[in-house]
Structure formats: structure tokens, C-alpha cells
């Protein structure tokens, strides 16, 4: 047997075996991973850019690559998939977002409640009197005097702005628009009247995805929505591996920080370009993210987040100027970091609470934000408890053999006929299936459970008689789409291992919810409202989510999918000082429950691994269906 090389594609983790010399582009096709290539591999488009950190097992840089990639890019591990190949051993290839084939379906928007428009940034037009020999008031004093007449007192000005103030005032012929942040800092002085130009930006730094809203602070409206994959993925797909990367050397943390800053800058740039705004007119940026993302963004030592007792460096809200963070907005724009609750309940979770308003309702709420790291809240206006659960990225299609992100070609809906086991499915964009995304896999497993193809413990029931039950490497798999139907030249299947990945992920979330409900003394039927936040949640079938035990057995009309409430909460804080204060209060009031030390954690986790749960009484709706079928 000839020697083979292994090529692994990240962030999906899909592997293919190939002959040495097979190009990365060819291998990607066989792996069902879409890499953009406009020239079809003819080395003439330069679009098939991939990142390969360890290049020891591969071919050297070709002339094609030096033509399309800068020395900096080559230094960062960029290669062209068409011109690079594995020589021996294993190769790990990271596909950056811009190289992905197919349009990603990204849920950026989230539930948002109306708030009074009262941003921290205000713009005031002034006509100053010119100095004369009889009025030699200094420039700054003259400006402050005029500001006092418009009701602003105790203002300060950054040294950088002061340096050019004499010229700014005279070039503007004393006719200026002043930008004030938080009624205390003057952050810009511009020529003429531009009171009606005032932008803010909200950012949600997710472990996998970064989303941004450009907001017109005059109207309070979102004018552009942007998002991209978190480019830190190159340094590890989950929080812990990125923290470990940060420990590798002194420059690693700086690299993680620079990477996310660059990504945010490109979101701001693209948003401004879309609406024809100057990034200098973006005067405030609100930022949310889990605690690790928060620390990375600020360049704060993250290592103690990963070891007991998992203590964050800081939880209170922070205000830092854009220039000191290298954010490309107005240099003196304020970057407001929303407060954090705990080491694994970040400011994105605070934003979820703000956006859904669970802190001001009498209803008993369960709020679950499903992401690589899941956060769960139980409570209402009286008291809220929170926890974090390491769900992992399975719901984003990772660690699933044919899993993929929600892009064109992903199977997102699955039905299985309980009699014939025949499958019907829908793909994103209606094109040939390339793989299966989070909502698709939840559907598939729920349907397989309904039809008895899998059981309460997971696995594949080998007794089922259908040609859709196939064996690959002696492991049974259930075929969702036949090779002839797919775009990858292979069957798209669900394996026992895939089911187990989803069991682990859903158990983590369910355990968090169960422990919190226990802490509050609340039973499933006392939950008045379930909010499912996070991009994944927006496309999931609620009945199927309940069927596999991801969420408790409550009537579906009590379940609401609220989308990316992290970004909508960040936007509410951007336009409302009241919400900003509320976020700070909440960060102190929300109680954090450490799951690892919670009584009953291990038993609950083990029981939650069952589909839907080991304790049949917890899922009466689902169990009655299963019993009917079983009978």
C-alpha cells in the first residue's frame, strides 16, 4: 500500500487521506470543505488562501504563491491551496472566512427592546467669539466657557486634542462642532456644523464569530450589520486552547489581541464604507464577549481564567480610548467594555439579559445562549442565577463527521419517515448537500430517535432494516443524503460518534439549566418563558430541540428564539445610558453558580446524556411519544 498523508481542515476538523503531492485544494474537495477558487486551480486567481501554521510536512513556497501573497502573509503561514501539498505525515489547514465557498448564513440580529435614545456621545455646534487684545482668554478656556453655556460643566480634553486645538479653532474660523463623551470628555473638535453626524458601533466578540452593528446615534437606528469568523480560530477553536496558546510565549497574547482588533477594524471599515460614513465619526464602541474574549481584546493576562478558581482579572465595566487599543474609529472614541459576571459568564451574557429583559419581568425565565461556550440564566426581576457550560462547537457543525457551518449547501432540515426510514431534507440555498449544519443534526438525531434508529443512550440501532444503514470502517452510519445527490461525491451520514458529540453538548447545557433551576427551587413546569439565544438557536426546530433534551419539556409556545442578543444588548447599551447603568448593576446582582462544585452536578450530567433524559418523568411529552412508538 502506497504511503498516504493526512490533511485535516480546520475549523471543522474534517480529515482526508490522500497520496503525497495531492494539493490542498484537491483534498478540500474530497473533504467536502468549500475553498474559493475562481480559476479552478489554474494558479491565476490567488483566491484559495489558506493558513498552514506548521509547514514542515509540505511543499515549499512556489512562485505562484510569492506572486499573490505578501512576505508578511507568508510569514503568517498563508499559502495558496492550489499550489501547496502535503509531502508526508499530517497537515493541518485552516480556512479563513474569506476563502470559504458558499455564502455563510449568519444570524447577526437579535431580540431588542425599545429604549429611550440617550447615548453617551453628544455633539454640539458652537460659534465662538474670536480673541482680541481686550479678550485674551486662552483657546481651551474659551471653548469651556461656551460649553458651559450649553450646559456642559467639568469637561476635560485629551492632551492629543489640545495639541492641535489652536489650529483647529482658527482653521474653522471659530465655527465648530464639539463631541462630548459621557458629559465629561471632549473627544473631537471639528469645523462647521456636523451635529447630525454621530455614529457608534457595537461589537460581539464570539469565540467563533465577531458581529458588529453600525448605529446612527442621532436616530438610534442600526445602519449596517457586519460579521466575520473570529480569526483567532487559527490559534485554537475553543477558549482553553487559545489561553494555552497565549501562554506559549510573550508575543502570543499580543498576537491574539492584534488579531481580534484587526477583525473589529475591518467590521468598522466595511460598515462605514457601506453607508458612506467616515470612521472618524464613530465616537463610541460598545464591546461584549465572553470573559476570555474580553481579556484577549484588552491584552489582559488570561491564564488564571483557565485554572481554579477561574478568577477574571476584572469584571467591572471599562472605558478605554480607541487609539490606545488600536481601534480604527475616531482616535479618541470611547471603547466601552460591558461588565462581566464571572470567569465563564462574560459581558455577552449580560447583554443577553439586557436584551431579553428577564431582569424586569415577573415571569420565571430560562435563558440559554448556545455557543461554543454556553451560558444559562434562571430567574426574573427578583433574582437571577447564572452558570456557564462547556457545550463545545458541535452545534456549529464541528467534530461532526459531515458537520459544517451554516453555509450554502448545508443540510438544515431533516425528516425521516417512521415507516420507510426514507429521508427528506432541505439545504441552505437549495443547492447540493455538502454536509450538515447544527439545526440539521438536531433534526436528524431527533428524527432518528423518533424512528428508533437511535435509542435513549445514543448509538445506531443495527437492527433497523434499511439500506440507509451503511458501514464505514465497520462502524454503522445512517445516510441522510446519497452520494449521487451530494456535491462531495460521498454519502452524507450521521454516525454513532456524531450522536455522542451532540449528546455531550446538549447534556452540558441541560445540566447547567437543571442545576440553576434546582438552585432556585424551580421545576420544569414552573418555567414561564424559555429564551434561546445565539445564532444557532435561530434556525433550530424547537420541538426537536426539546425532543433530544436540549431544553426542558415545556410547551413550545413558551419557547422563543431570540437570536444574537449579545449584539442587540450591546447596541442597547450603546444608545442608552440607562441600560449602561443597568448592565453594571446586573453584573453585581446576578449570582454565579460554579457547576463543578454544585451538588449533584455529575449525576445530572450523566442523566442528561440520555435522549432526552435518563429520568423519564422530566420529559413526559417526549416519553409519551417514544412509548407510543415502542408499544
Here the cell at position 460 is 445506531
DSSP code, position 133: T
DSSP assignment letter at 154: S
∠ at Cα 395 (624, 548), nearest 5°?
A: 5
250 binds its own copies (CB under 8 A): no
Number of residues that bind its own copies (CB under 8 A): 44
Q: Which of residues 139-158 bind its own copies (CB under 8 A)?
A: 139-141
Q: What is the 3-state secondary structure (H, E, C) of 503-527?
A: HHHHHHHHHHHHHHHHHHCCCHHHC
Report strand pairing: 209-216 vs 221-229. antiparallel
Q: 96 and 53 in contact (C-beta within 8 Å)?
A: no
Name the minimum Å distance from CB 124 to its own copies: 20
**Residues in the chain, overall count:** 631
CA distances to 120, 339, 441, 592 from 588, in Å? 22, 9, 38, 10
Considering only 33, 215, 256, 300, the residue that binds its own copies (CB under 8 A) is 300
Residues near 92 by Cβ (< 8 Å), separated by ≥ 6? 8, 10, 52, 53, 54
Q: How far apart are CA 70 and CA 44, in angstroms?
A: 16
Grouping H, G, I as helix, E, B as strand and the rest as coil, residue 6 is strand
114/104 Cα distance (integer angstroms): 29
Q: Which is nearer to its own copies, 196 or 301 (CB)?
A: 301
Which residues in the 484-503 window bind its own copies by CB under 8 A?
A: none
Which residues of 499-594 form beta strands (DSSP E)?
529-533, 559-563, 591-592
Q: Indicate whether 304 belongs to the interface with its own copies (CB under 8 A).
A: yes
Using the minimum distance from each CB to its own copies, give the nearer residue, 163 or 602: 163
Taking a C-beta distance cutoff of 8 angstroms, is the pair 101, 62 a contact?
Answer: no
Extended beta strands in 268-379, E state: 282-289, 318-321, 334-337, 365-369, 374-379
Beta bridge pairs of residue 479:
493
SS3 210: strand
303 touches its own copies by CB under 8 A: yes
Q: CB nearer to its own copies: give 124 or 165.
A: 165
Given a contact cutoff of 8 angstroms between Cβ atoms, the answer to whether 504 and 327 are in contact is: no
State the nearest-atom distance from the C-beta of 384 to its own copies, in Å: 17
Q: Is 287 in the site for its own copies (CB under 8 A)?
A: no
Residue 245 interacts with its own copies (CB under 8 A)?
Answer: no
Q: Which is nearer to its own copies, 28 or 291 (CB)?
A: 291
Nearest one of 430, 432, 436 to 448, comparing CA atoms: 436
Give whichever of 152 and 592 is closer to its own copies, judged by the CB atom: 592
For its own copies, the binding residue among 39, 275, 311, 472 (CB under 8 A) is: 311
| Cα dihedral 29, 33, 35, 40 in deg (nearest 10) | 20
Counting contacts by CB under 8 A, is residue 166 touching its own copies?
yes
Tell whether residue 592 is a contact of its own copies (CB under 8 A).
yes
- State how far the Cα of 332 lies from the Cα of 355, in Å rounded to an integer: 28
> In whole angstroms, how close is the CB of 230 to its own copies at the nearest point?
21
58 binds its own copies (CB under 8 A): no
When asked if residue 249 is in the footprint of its own copies (CB under 8 A), the reply is: no
The reply to whether 324 sits near its own copies by the rule CB under 8 A is yes
Cα separation, 240 vs 575, in Å, equals 33
Least CB distance to its own copies at residue 578 (A): 21
Residue 159 contacts its own copies per CB under 8 A: yes
Q: In this chain, which stretch among 82-90, 161-169, 490-498, 554-562 interacts with its own copies, using CB under 8 A?
A: 161-169
Asked whether position 133 contacts its own copies by CB under 8 A, the answer is: yes
Restricting to residues 170-229, name those near its own copies by CB under 8 A.
170
Q: Cβ 382 to its own copies, closest distance in Å?
A: 23
From the CB of 626, what's the least distance to its own copies, in Å?
A: 39
Which of 83, 315, 334, 538 binds its own copies (CB under 8 A)? It is 315
* Of positions 178, 340, 351, 437, contacts its own copies by CB under 8 A: 340
Between residues 138 and 431, which has the closer beta carbon with respect to its own copies?
A: 138
Q: Counting contacts by CB under 8 A, is residue 594 touching its own copies?
A: yes
Q: Given the complex with its own copies, which of 113 and 316 has the nearer CB atom?
A: 316
Residue from 206, 231, 312, 317 touching its own copies (CB under 8 A): that is 312
Q: Does 293 participate in binding its own copies (rule CB under 8 A)?
A: no
In this complex, which beta carbon is closest to its own copies, that of residue 482 or of residue 592?
A: 592
Which one, 257 or 568, has the nearer CB to its own copies?
257
Cβ 125 vs Cβ 177: under 8 Å: yes
Question: According to CB under 8 A, which one of 167, 249, 360, 475 is a site residue for its own copies?
Answer: 167
Residue 526 DSSP symbol: G
Q: What minimum distance in Å lies between the beta carbon of 216 and its own copies?
A: 28
258 binds its own copies (CB under 8 A): no
Q: Which stretch binds its own copies (CB under 8 A): 172-180, 310-318, 423-431, 523-531?
A: 310-318
* Residue whose C-alpha is closest to residue 387's, from 194, 604, 184: 604
Helix (H) or strand (E) holding 481: strand 475-481
- Asked if residue 343 binds its own copies (CB under 8 A), the reply is yes
Q: Quick one: the chain helix, strand, coil %, rounded to 5? A: 35, 25, 40
Q: Which of residues 448-487 bind its own copies (CB under 8 A)?
A: none
Q: Which of 1, 114, 136, 382 binds its own copies (CB under 8 A)?
A: 136
Selected from 6, 22, 137, 556, the binder of its own copies by CB under 8 A is 137
By DSSP bridging, strand 435-436 and strand 492-495 are: unpaired
Taking a C-beta distance cutoff of 8 angstroms, is the pair 106, 411 a contact? no
Among 138, 221, 274, 420, binds its own copies (CB under 8 A): 138
Which of 308, 431, 471, 589 is close enough to bind its own copies by CB under 8 A? 308
Q: Largest Cα–Cα distance of the chain, in whole Å?
A: 100
Determine the interface stretch with its own copies among 303-311, 474-482, 529-537, 540-548 (rule: CB under 8 A): 303-311
Cis status of the peptide bond prior to 309, with omega within 30 of 0: yes
Produce one character per residue of 35-67: b if its CB has 16 or more CB atoms within 10 Å, e if not: bebeeebebeebbbbbbbeeeebbbebeebbee
Which stretches within 44-158 are classed as H helix? 63-68, 71-75, 139-149
Contacts with its own copies, residue ranges (CB under 8 A): 131-133, 135-141, 159, 162-167, 170, 298-301, 303-304, 308-316, 318, 320, 324-325, 340, 342-343, 592, 594, 596-597
Amino acid at each position: 500500500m502506497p504511503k498516504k498523508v493526512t490533511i485535516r481542515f480546520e475549523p471543522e476538523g474534517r480529515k482526508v487521506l490522500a497520496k503525497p503531492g495531492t494539493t490542498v485544494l484537491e483534498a478540500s474537495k474530497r473533504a467536502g470543505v468549500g475553498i474559493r477558487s475562481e480559476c479552478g486551480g489554474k494558479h491565476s486567481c490567488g483566491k484559495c488562501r489558506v493558513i498552514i501554521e506548521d509547514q514542515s510536512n509540505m511543499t515549499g513556497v512556489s512562485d505562484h504563491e510569492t506572486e499573490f501573497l505578501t512576505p508578511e502573509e507568508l510569514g503568517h503561514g498563508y499559502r495558496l491551496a492550489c499550489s501547496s501539498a502535503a509531502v508526508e505525515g499530517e497537515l493541518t489547514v485552516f480556512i479563513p472566512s474569506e476563502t470559504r465557498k458558499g455564502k455563510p448564513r449568519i444570524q447577526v440580529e437579535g431580540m431588542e427592546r425599545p429604549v429611550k435614545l440617550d447615548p453617551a456621545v453628544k455633539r454640539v455646534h458652537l460659534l465662538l467669539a474670536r480673541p482680541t487684545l481686550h479678550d485674551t482668554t486662552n483657546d481651551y478656556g474659551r471653548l469651556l466657557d461656551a460649553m458651559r453655556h450649553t450646559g456642559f460643566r467639568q469637561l476635560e480634553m485629551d492632551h492629543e486634542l489640545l495639541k492641535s486645538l489652536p489650529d483647529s479653532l482658527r482653521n474653522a474660523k471659530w465655527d465648530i462642532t464639539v463631541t462630548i463623551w459621557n458629559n465629561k470628555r471632549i473627544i473631537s473638535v471639528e469645523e462647521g456644523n456636523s451635529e447630525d453626524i454621530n455614529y457608534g458601533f457595537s461589537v460581539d466578540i464570539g469565540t467563533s464569530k465577531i458581529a458588529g452593528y453600525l448605529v446612527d446615534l442621532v436616530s438610534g437606528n442600526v445602519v449596517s450589520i457586519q460579521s466575520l469568523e473570529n480569526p483567532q480560530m487559527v490559534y485554537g477553536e475553543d477558549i482553553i486552547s487559545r489561553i494555552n496558546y497565549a501562554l506559549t510565549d510573550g508575543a502570543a497574547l499580543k498576537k491574539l489581541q492584534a488579531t481580534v482588533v484587526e477583525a473589529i477594524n475591518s467590521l468598522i471599515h466595511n460598515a462605514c464604507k457601506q453607508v458612506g460614513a467616515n470612521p472618524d465619526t464613530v465616537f463610541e464602541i460598545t464591546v461584549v464577549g465572553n470573559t476570555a474574549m474580553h481579556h484577549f481584546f484588552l491584552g489582559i493576562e488570561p491564564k488564571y481564567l483557565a485554572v481554579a478558581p477561574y478568577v477574571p482579572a476584572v469584571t467591572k465595566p471599562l472605558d478605554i480610548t480607541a487609539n490606545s487599543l488600536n481601534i480604527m474609529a475616531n482616535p479618541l472614541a470611547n471603547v466601552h467594555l460591558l461588565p462581566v459576571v464571572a470567569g465563564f459568564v462574560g459581558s455577552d451574557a449580560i447583554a443577553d439579559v439586557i436584551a431579553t429583559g428577564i431582569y424586569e419581568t415577573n415571569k420565571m425565565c430560562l435563558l440559554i445562549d448556545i455557543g461554543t461556550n454556553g451560558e444559562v440564566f434562571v430567574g426574573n426581576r427578583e433574582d437571577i442565577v447564572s452558570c456557564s457550560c462547556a457545550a463545545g462547537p458541535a452545534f456549529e457543525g464541528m467534530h461532526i463527521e459531515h458537520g459544517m457551518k451554516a453555509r450554502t449547501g448545508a443540510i438544515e432540515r431533516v425528516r425521516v419517515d417512521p415507516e420507510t426510514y426514507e429521508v427528506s431534507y432541505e439545504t441552505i440555498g437549495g443547492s447540493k448537500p455538502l454536509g450538515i449544519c447544527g439545526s440539521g443534526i438536531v433534526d436528524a438525531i431527533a428524527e432518528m430517535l423518533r424512528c428508533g434508529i437511535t435509542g435513549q443512550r445514543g448509538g445506531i440501532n443495527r437492527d433497523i432494516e434499511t439500506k440507509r444503514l451503511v458501514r464505514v470502517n465497520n462502524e454503522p452510519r445512517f445516510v441522510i443524503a446519497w452520494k449521487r445527490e451530494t456535491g462531495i461525491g460521498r454519502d452524507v451520514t450521521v454516525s454513532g460518534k456524531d450522536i455522542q458529540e451532540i449528546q455531550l453538548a446538549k447534556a452540558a447545557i441541560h445540566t447547567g439549566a437543571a442545576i440553576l433551576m434546582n438552585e432556585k427551587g424551580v421545576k420544569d413546569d414552573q418555567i414561564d418563558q424559555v429564551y434561546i439565544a445565539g445564532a444557532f438557536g435561530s434556525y433550530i426546530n424547537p420541538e426537536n430541540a426539546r425532543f433530544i433534551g436540549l431544553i426542558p419539556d415545556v410547551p413550545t409556545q413558551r419557547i422563543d428564539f431570540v437570536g444574537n442578543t449579545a449584539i442587540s444588548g450591546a447596541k442597547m447599551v450603546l444608545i442608552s445610558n440607562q441600560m449602561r447603568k443597568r448592565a453594571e448593576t446586573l453584573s453585581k446582582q446576578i449570582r454565579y453558580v460554579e457547576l463543578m462544585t454544585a451538588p449533584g452536578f455529575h449525576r445530572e450530567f450523566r442523566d442528561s446524556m440520555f435522549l432526552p433524559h435518563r429520568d423519564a418523568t422530566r420529559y413526559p411529552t417526549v416519553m409519551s411519544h417514544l412509548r407510543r412508538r415502542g408499544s
